[in-house]
Amino acid sequence: MEGQQTETQDNNDPIFADLGADEGPTRIESLCMNCHENGMTNLLLTKIPSFKEIILMSFHCKHCGFRNNEIQFGGSIAERGCIYKLVVTDKGDLNRQVVKSDAASIYIPELDFEIPPLTQKGTLNTIEGFLMQAIEGLNQGQEERRAAAPNVAAQIDAFTAKLEELKHGGKKFTFIIDDPAGNSFVENPSAPAADPNLTITHYERNREQNRALGISQARRGRRGGEEEEEGQKEAKKSGGGGLLSGADAEALVKRAEEGGAEHLEEVMKFPETCGLCGKRGETRMCVAHIPHFKDVIIMAFMCEACGYKSNEVKSGGAIAPKGCKITLRLTNADDLNRDVLKSETAGLEIPELELGLVPGTLGGKFSTIEGLLTTIRDDLKNNPFLRGDSAASAGRMVSLIEGLDDLLAFRSGPFTLVLDDPVANSYLQNIYAPDEDPNMTVEEYERSWDQNEDLGLNDMKTENYREDGEEDDDDKGDKEAEAKSNEEVKPAETQQP
């Protein structure tokens, strides 16, 4: 019995354990690429604050003395890439912790300087530390370079002097980290409040970035064509209708039905290649209407081969001419059951907790207020980037999570929820509809130039986009064809008696 209990406990042990002094590494005998004798590799799978899961590797060959060590990221690749843009204004910003994954690049536009992905890969450091490592790397071999190529050495010395000035906080500059894997991070000292000097942008990866990360693309060649043709035949046979597969997608559709949403179309099904395993999966999509609001598009993907699931909710309307700010005062626990649609462009604020979510956080989400707050709380609990290893940051985060628990249980009394959406694609249920809600205020406002710039509206021209007297090729072709046909018809008309 004791042996069985011990075996069960071992099976339940986590793969990535917390970093501590008692955990021992895994030792594996492996080939030394220097002398081709067998050496020893030590592997330690662990997780540390602000860096999620990591794999520590160390190799030593007792025959030739060769040593090598490396750190690799052990977590999953995020669904979207991310760009952190920080304006460094003082020495305090130089002490911010930065996580740079293997796929991330660092840019300093003021110096036209880039640290590519393969340089300083898999690093947890401060901004000052990254600058110091860059200076040390550039200074390597400078003595030999001064003798062989003095002009090149002088240029490197001049550039390292500029980096030294930035390292000591003598000049304001921009620090940008671009990570297609979405696993890099720049510390926000004022978290969970928004940082005015830090901008976070999420983007969809292109095919080249997916290939560089090792994510399977759509299968090509004859076999891929046959699979796609077969999948299209299956889609035609199955047609529309049916329920969305997967627990998350079913919950989304259920929320739409319970909230009085009417389906405008049947659920559409079409095959799609899974981005993780490359096998054929199925995407299901439906359009639903939220009363007193607009259409929403619910999308869900599931791969039966590997079990991967994803779902997304998008607003199905045009960009409104003005932004919209919805403020709801929750006065009782029943208000937590109100439906809420948070678009991917909306920000969220709870003044009582000094909690603010910048646009893009959580993506598009259709749930209840209780479900939205639960998601925020769970993300804060499970995100080691926000915990940190200092007592101040850890205490502030624990206090925030406890505050969210109090709101969910409605122990702290009434509170305020603010949704600010520059494109007015977010929604909070009005339980008094069609009458006004006494606890809800809806304000429309003119978007700022920066908001229009982020949305790409400043470069978009939808009226009078053609210069006066200027015609496109289609209009010219139509007029020429019409004139030619008129010339052919006129002689025929004159010949008639």
pLDDT digits (tens, 9 = 90+) for 90-115: 888 898 888 888 889 999 999 999 98
pLDDT-based confidence at residue 41 (cuts at 50, 70, 90):
very high
Confidence of residue 478 (pLDDT cuts 50, 70, 90): low
| Other beta carbons within 10 Å of 195 | 18
d(CA 422, CA 215): 34
Q: What is the CATH number of domain 17-73?
A: 2.20.25.420
CATH superfamily of 250-317: ZPR1, zinc finger domain (2.20.25.420)
User: What's the mean pLDDT in 80-84?
Assistant: 90
- The pTM (predicted TM-score) of the whole model is 0.53
pLDDT-based confidence at residue 14 (cuts at 50, 70, 90): low
Mind listing the pLDDT tens digit for each residue in 342-368?
888 899 999 999 888 888 777 778 889
What is residue 330's predicted lDDT score, i.e. its pLDDT?
94
Among residues of the chain, what percentage have pLDDT more than 90? 24
Identify which of 47-51, 104-108, 256-260, 315-319 has the greatest average pLDDT: 104-108
* Beta sheet of 415-421, edge-to-edge order: 355-357, 347-350, 415-421, 323-330, 440-445
pLDDT at 43: 87
Q: Which CATH number fits domain 318-386+393-458: 1.10.274.10, 1.10.260.40, 2.60.120.1040, 3.30.70.20?
A: 2.60.120.1040
Q: Which residues of 463-489 are buried (b: 16+ CB within 10 A; e: fewer)?
A: eeeeeeeeeeeeeeeeeeeeeeeeeee
- Token reading at 22: 């008692």
For residues 98 and 126, is the Cβ–Cβ distance under 8 A?
yes
CATH code of 81-213, in short, is 2.60.120.1040
Three-state DSSP at 154 gives: helix
Tell me the CA distances in angstroms from 39 to 46, 65, 250, one per residue in order.
23, 9, 52
Of 193-202, 270-279, 470-479, minimum mean pLDDT range: 470-479
Strand bridging mode 38-47 / 17-18: parallel
Q: How far apart are CA 340 and CA 368, in angstroms?
A: 5
CB 78 within 8 A of CB 108: no
Name the pLDDT band for 489 (thresholds 50, 70, 90): very low
> Given this chain, do its domains 17-73 and 318-386+393-458 carry the same CATH topology?
no
If you average pLDDT over residues 26-53, what whole number do you get? 81
Res. 6 pLDDT band, cuts 50 70 90: very low
pLDDT for 383 equals: 65
Q: Which residues contact 34 (CB under 8 A, 6 or more apart)?
A: 61, 64, 66
232 contact partners, CB below 8 Å, separation of at least 6: 271
What's the rounded Cα separation, in Å, for the pair 200 and 360? Answer: 8
What are φ and ψ of residue 360, in 5° steps?
100, -20
How many other CB atoms are found less than 10 A from the CB of residue 291? 14
Q: Closest by alpha carbon to 79, among 238, 322, 311?
A: 311
Does position 10 have pLDDT exceeding 60, yes or no?
no
Q: Read out DSSP for 200-250?
A: EEEE---HHHHHHTT------HHHHHHHHHHHHHHHHHH-S-SPPPSHHHH
Provide the pLDDT confidence category of residue 48 given band limits of 50, 70 and 90: low
For residue 61, the number of C-alpha atoms closer than 13 Å in the C-beta half-sphere is 15
pLDDT classification of 314: cutoffs 50, 70, 90: confident
Ranges of each domain in the chain? 17-73, 81-213, 250-317, 318-386+393-458
